[in-house]
Every structure is written in C-alpha cells, then in structure tokens.
C-alpha cells in the first residue's frame, strides 16, 4: 500500500479516516492537513516540497536529530535477534537490563531502579500509582492527594490530565478525585511587582500553604516539570526548586520530577533535576530517551522508594505489554551513546546561549517581544502588547496563533502556547541552522507585529 502513495490524495484520506490527537477536526478539514514525508537533521520535508526547520524537535523529542542511521541499525539488529518478549512473569531481556543499568548510572544520585512503559503519560500514571502503593505499604493509605500546578502538563491519560493543570483537559476528562493545583512559578505572567527571586519563594510557598490546608497526612506527592514545557516554557526563578525540596522533605511528601521534556540534555544538563538541584523521589522520562524514534518511557525510583516497593509492597499489580520492549530499549541505549559521544548535552548549554544572544539581537527592536528566556535548548519568546508593563494582548492565544502561522509559512516550526512562542530544536542544530532559525523567527515576529501594530503600546 505504501508503494502507491504518490497516486493517492493523502489529505482526503486523512480527512475521511484519521481522527487526530489534540485537534479541532472541523478547523483541520477546512484548512487541509499538512503531510510530512521525510526528514533529516533539523529539517522536515512535506508533500508539497517544502523544507521546514523543525525548531520543536517534533514534539520536544528528536534530540539527536532526524535521519540517524545508527538508531535505525540498532532497531533492525534487535528486531532480528528478539523483536519482542515481555518483562512480566520473571523474565527480562538484554536491552531492558542494559538500559535500566545505564539510566541508573546517568540519573541523579540514588535513582537506581527503572520501571518501563511506552509513553510519558504512562510513566506519569505509573509514578502516581507507585506513590499510592508506597504510602499504603507504609501504613498511610490516606496519603492520596497529588498536588500539581496550573499550566502543568503530565500527559493525556485520565490520571495524567488530572495531575496536569490544563483547564480544557480537565473539562473533558481529567477530573479525577484527589488532585489539586497550585500557582505555577511563571514570573513573567504572574509575578506582578515581585522580583523573580521573591516570586520563586512565593510560588513555592503556595505548595506549603496547600499542604497545610489539606493536611500533610492526606498528601501523597507533588509533581512538577523542572521547566513547564507545554505550559509555555515556564522557567522557575532560581529560588523555587530549593524551597520545594525543603517543603516536600519537611512534610513527608514524595517529590516527582516530570522530566519527559527536560530529560536527556534539553537543559544543557542530562536532567532538569541536575540543572535545578531538584531532589526527586521519582522521575518520569520519555521523549528524548529514544529521540522519538520509538515509543518508550521510564519511571526512575529513588532508593528510598525502591526499597519499600521491593521489600515490603508485595506484588506490584501494574505493567504494560510493552514494558521494557527490547527494540525500544536497544534504540534508547544507542541514542544515549550518541548524546554522550557527540557531547550533545554540554553542546546544548553552549548552543542555547548562542541562540538566545542572537535572538536578543535580532528581536531587540521589535515592540511586541517582551521577554526571551531559555535554558539550554529550550526557550520561549513572550509576545506582549506593552512590554514595559508585561501586559498581554486581548484574547490570549490569538497573537500567538498569528505568529505560529507566519512561522509555518516562512519555513520554521515554533509552537504558540497562549501568546508565548516556544522552541526546543534538536540538540544537533549547528551554527548555520541557528542563524537560519533566528532569521526566520525575526521575519515571522516582524510580520506579526505588522499585523497587530494598532494594539501595541507606543
């Protein structure tokens, strides 16, 4: 069937048969779907012959870039040897063991056990279940409540959506009991007159207040992304995570770092927890673990948690057909080898600095650019009606949408989250490609300014 593809109209077939994730289908059918046909390095090719710089690395995941034959070979080799076997019922496979061992080596101190799943959502779901079982095992079954944050994103299973702080998702599905949400550490949007440092403490203490309100004896865990990605690349002030560490410890609350986006070098450190000094009890990993080449995720358990789960919890009634899938694990191992051999993690820190400096220079005169922020190769550009007062445009999300469409038309993919343009290019991006990304961003944000000029404070 795939050999005949040139002869069929993929747009029509897609509209007829494909129900997409996170999509308004009426709107999609009116515009027509974009068909991506191939990719190499940081570039995508679509069916119309356009070449597009993917400044999002797919959905924040293609760390090692597209077209890596080493990953293809690792998959083919493992598929030939053992394409599948499960890790239930007292069995394991070579790639799963070796990957668990490798993850224990590169993860922060004390995180020595990996539980495998297929997606970030499944990892989050698994971490939340583990938190509940942990407290049950310690004789505190009433410790059930999970605290997350507004604008948090922890996936789209019902538990993940409930832990996340996306109100539209809560409305449709994620309204499970025993979840609460606190203010995100989003200084630009919510910091008012406070300095970022003051606001970091203030936002962390919302957690303390929430625990007090609920009673620490009822709270199982706090879950947070080191940097909130899908929520708009919200980078907490430096004061935030140390205070959260303290609050979780003092109140005997598990701390879950959702590293699905931050993990595997995005921040210029292997994990976001390394960058911010977070002391998690569990970490969820996905996306960059295989650079998106195959589905795979993991929950890393700190020894504190693993000892209880292994020695005292009895049987763990949880797992997936594809937990520890040998082909995904083989690809992950090769992918981590690439990150290490090509020094892509330290490279992300250096390239991120170059990228932000160039963006700052290119966008300095654009009146709607309120802030450019980033850590490593994850970043954001705030579009604002008045940059002196950090005032957003009317109908939040409208101007971001305009900008995103200009970006696409100009050949660069950036995401709009409300009116915040976010980016996370492959860690392999080179200097010329950084220049190209900056040029295309400058052009697109310039066109956006022209389109909304009348609304901008002079």
What is the rounded CA–CA span in Å between residue 170 and residue 390? 28
128 part of the interface to ligand PXG, by CB under 6 A: no
**Minimum Å distance from CB 181 to ligand PXG?**
15
Token code pair at residue 158: 């019902």
Any contact of residue 260 with ligand PXG (CB under 6 A)? yes
Among 120, 189, 224, 376, binds ligand PXG (CB under 6 A): 120
Contact residue for ligand PXG among 93, 121, 323, 448 (CB under 6 A) = 121
Closer to ligand PXG by CB, 155 or 174: give it: 155
Residue matched to tokens 């490593």: 376
Coil/strand/helix, residue 285: strand
Min separation Cβ 6 and ligand PXG, Å = 30
CA distance linking residue 346 with residue 340, whole number of Å:
9
Pattern 165-204, ligand PXG, x by CB under 6 A: ----------------------------------------
Q: Which is nearer to ligand PXG, 155 or 237 (CB)?
A: 155
Contact 419, 393 (CB under 8 A): yes
Nearer to ligand PXG, 375 or 385 (CB): 375
Tokens found for residue 78: 């493992």
Regarding 154 and contact with ligand PXG (CB under 6 A), the answer is: yes
Question: Shortest distance, CB of residue 160 to ligand PXG, whole angstroms?
Answer: 6
Residue whose C-alpha is closest to residue 256's, from 287, 214, 211, 225: 225
Integer angstrom CA distances of residue 436 from 54, 70, 86, 330, 424? 11, 27, 45, 34, 15
Stretch that binds ligand PXG, among 104-112, 188-196, 258-266, 334-342 (CB under 6 A): 258-266
Contact pick of 39, 219, 286, 402 for ligand PXG (by CB under 6 A): 286
Instruction: List own/partner pairs for 431-437 with CB under 8 A and 24 or more apart.
Output: 431/354, 433/41, 433/42, 433/53, 434/351, 434/354, 434/355, 434/358, 435/358, 436/53, 436/412, 437/53, 437/55, 437/355, 437/412
How far is the C-alpha of 206 from the C-alpha of 150, rounded, in Å? 12
- Contact region with ligand PXG (CB under 6 A), list: 150-158, 271-279, 395-403, 423-431: 150-158
Binding mask 400-439 for ligand PXG (x = CB under 6 A): ---------------x------------------------
Neighbours of 24 (CB within 10 A): 9
Of 103, 107, 124, 211, the residue at the interface with ligand PXG (CB under 6 A) is: 124
Which tokens belong to 118? Answer: 């297929």
Count of residues that interact with ligand PXG, criterion CB under 6 A: 16
Sheet holding 219-224, edge to edge: 111-117, 297-302, 282-285, 254-258, 219-224, 145-149, 179-182
**Planar angle of CA 265, 270, 272, nearest 5 degrees:** 90
- Does 119 contact ligand PXG by CB under 6 A? yes
Residue nearest to ligand PXG (CB): 120
Q: Of 153 and 199, which has the nearer Cβ to ligand PXG? A: 153
Question: Should residue 155 be labelled a site residue for ligand PXG when binding is judged by CB under 6 A?
Answer: yes
162 binds ligand PXG (CB under 6 A): no
Q: Cβ closer to ligand PXG: 188 or 449?
A: 188
Which has the closest alpha carbon to 78: 106, 58, 98?
98
Asked if 428 and 64 count as a contact pair (C-beta separation under 8 A), the reply is: yes
Q: Establish if 153 lies at the interface with ligand PXG (CB under 6 A).
A: yes
Distance of alpha carbon 241 from alpha carbon 200, whole angstroms: 8
Interface with ligand PXG (CB under 6 A), residue from 28, 33, 59, 106: 59
Q: Which is nearer to ligand PXG, 133 or 257 (CB)?
A: 257
Among 54, 208, 258, 274, binds ligand PXG (CB under 6 A): 258
Question: Using CB under 6 A as the criterion, what x/- string covers residues 216-235 for binding ligand PXG?
Answer: ---------x---xx-----
The Cα–Cα gap between 407 and 443 comes to: 8
Contact set with ligand PXG (CB under 6 A): 59, 119-121, 124, 153-155, 225, 229-230, 258, 260-261, 286, 415
């Amino acid at each position: 069937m795939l050999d005949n593809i040139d002869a069929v109209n993929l747009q029509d077939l897609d509209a007829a048969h494909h129900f997409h994730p996170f999509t308004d289908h009426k709107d999609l059918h009116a515009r027509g779907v974009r068909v991506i046909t191939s990719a190499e390095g940081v570039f995508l090719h679509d069916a119309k012959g356009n070449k597009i710089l993917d400044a999002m690395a797919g959905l924040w995941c293609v760390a090692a870039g597209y077209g890596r034959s080493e990953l293809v070979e690792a998959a083919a080799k493992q598929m030939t040897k053992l394409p599948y076997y499960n890790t239930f019922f007292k069995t394991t496979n070579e790639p799963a063991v070796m990957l668990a061992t490798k993850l224990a080596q590169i993860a922060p101190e004390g995180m020595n056990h990996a539980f495998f799943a297929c997606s970030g959502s499944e990892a989050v779901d698994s971490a939340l279940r583990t938190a509940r079982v942990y407290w049950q095992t310690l004789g505190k079954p009433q410790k059930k409540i999970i605290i997350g944050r507004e604008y948090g994103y922890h996936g789209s299973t019902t538990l993940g959506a409930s832990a996340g702080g996306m109100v539209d998702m809560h409305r449709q599905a994620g309204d499970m009991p025993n979840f609460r949400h606190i203010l995100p550490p989003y200084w630009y949007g919510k910091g008012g007159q406070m300095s970022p440092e003051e606001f970091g403490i203030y936002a962390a203490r919302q957690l303390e207040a929430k625990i007090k309100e609920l009673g620490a004896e009822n709270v199982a865990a706090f879950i947070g992304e080191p940097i909130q990605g899908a929520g708009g690349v919200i980078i907490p002030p430096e004061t935030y995570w140390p205070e959260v560490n303290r609050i979780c410890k003092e109140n005997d609350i598990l701390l879950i770092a959702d590293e699905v986006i931050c993990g595997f070098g995005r921040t210029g450190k292997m994990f976001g927890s390394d960058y911010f000094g977070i002391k998690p009890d569990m970490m969820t990993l996905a996306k960059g673990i295989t650079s998106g080449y195959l589905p795979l995720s993991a929950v890393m358990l700190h020894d504190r948690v693993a000892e209880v789960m292994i020695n005292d919890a009895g049987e763990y009634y949880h797992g997936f057909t594809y937990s520890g899938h040998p082909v995904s694990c083989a690809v992950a191992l090769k992918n981590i080898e690439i990150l290490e051999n090509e020094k892509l993690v330290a490279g992300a820190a250096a390239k991120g600095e170059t990228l932000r400096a160039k963006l700052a220079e290119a966008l300095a005169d654009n009146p709607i650019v309120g802030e450019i922020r980033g850590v490593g190769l994850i970043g954001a550009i705030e579009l604002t009606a008045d940059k002196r007062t950090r005032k957003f445009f009317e109908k939040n999300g409208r101007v971001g949408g305009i900008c995103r469409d200009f970006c696409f038309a100009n050949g660069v993919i950036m995401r709009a989250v409300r009116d915040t343009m976010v980016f996370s290019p492959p860690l392999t991006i080179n200097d010329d490609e950084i220049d190209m990304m900056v040029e295309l961003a400058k052009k697109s944000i310039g066109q956006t300014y022209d389109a909304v000029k009348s609304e901008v404070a002079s």
